[in-house]
Amino acid sequence: MTRSGLESKPSPIAGLGLFATQSFNLGQKILPYLGKVIHSPPPSKPSQPTFILEIKPGLWIDGLIEENLARFANHSCAPNAELIFNEEENQAWLIARQTIPAGEEITFDYGFSLAESLFHTCHCGQTNCIGKIVASPLRPALRRHLRFSRPRD
Ligand SMILES: [Zn+2]
């Protein structure tokens, strides 16, 4: 599946990833995150797909639809894009948060809660990777939790 400037292909992070086939500039719109709008939080279950994202308080998008190429974008603890909800367009967009050269994988912060993070291991490979998919503001709290709950040897 392709779209101008983008392609999905196997990723070192997980499954299929979203890759740039052209460069994107800081602040540039990469592509919209399409899907079904949901007004209540999804249940946190291991079987829960990672395509249901809170795009603003009280509003989730279930991106598991064929047209949503953005669903291939993996989470990273040091992402090069971010998901931003555009109120005027009533549309969520992946926006470049730095220059993204052609060939690079496009990643963003899934923004998961602490409860959700427990079911989702992160394989982003960044030096600051916390090992779980969790919203960046929650990382210090999760890091403390993981440190204190680790069994002693
Ligand atoms: Zn990570």
Q: What is the pLDDT of residues 117-144, one digit of tens each?
A: 888 999 999 998 999 999 999 998 888 8
Q: Which CATH number is 2-149's, of 3.40.50.970, 3.50.50.60, 3.30.1660.40, 2.170.270.10?
A: 2.170.270.10
Q: Ligand 1 is a single-atom ion; what residues have CB below 5 A from it?
A: 77, 122, 124, 129
Ligand 1: distance of its center to the CA of 40 in Å? 27
Give distance in angstroms: CA of 62 to centre of ligand 1.
Answer: 22
Q: Distance from the CA of 74 to the center of ligand 1, in angstroms? A: 10
Per-residue model confidence as pLDDT tens digits over 66-101: 899 999 999 999 999 999 988 888 889 999 999 999
Residue ranges of domains in the chain: 2-149
DSSP letter assigned to residue 126 = -
- Cα(85)–Cα(95) distance, integer angstroms: 10
Q: What pTM, to 2 d.p., does this model score?
A: 0.86
Residue 112 burial by Cβ neighbours in a 10 Å radius (0-12, 13-18, 19+):
buried
Rounded Cα gap, residues 15 and 115, in angstroms: 23
Centre of ligand 1 from the C-alpha of residue 52, in Å: 18
**Running DSSP on this structure, what letter comes out for residue 92?**
E
Q: Beginning with the edge strand found earlier in the chain, give each strand of the sheet holding 91-96 in spatial order.
A: 29-33, 91-96, 81-86
Position 64 scores a pLDDT of 87
What is the distance in A from the centroid of ligand 1 to the CA of 131?
5
Rounded to the nearest whole angstrom, what is the distance from the C-alpha of residue 132 to the centroid of ligand 1? Answer: 6
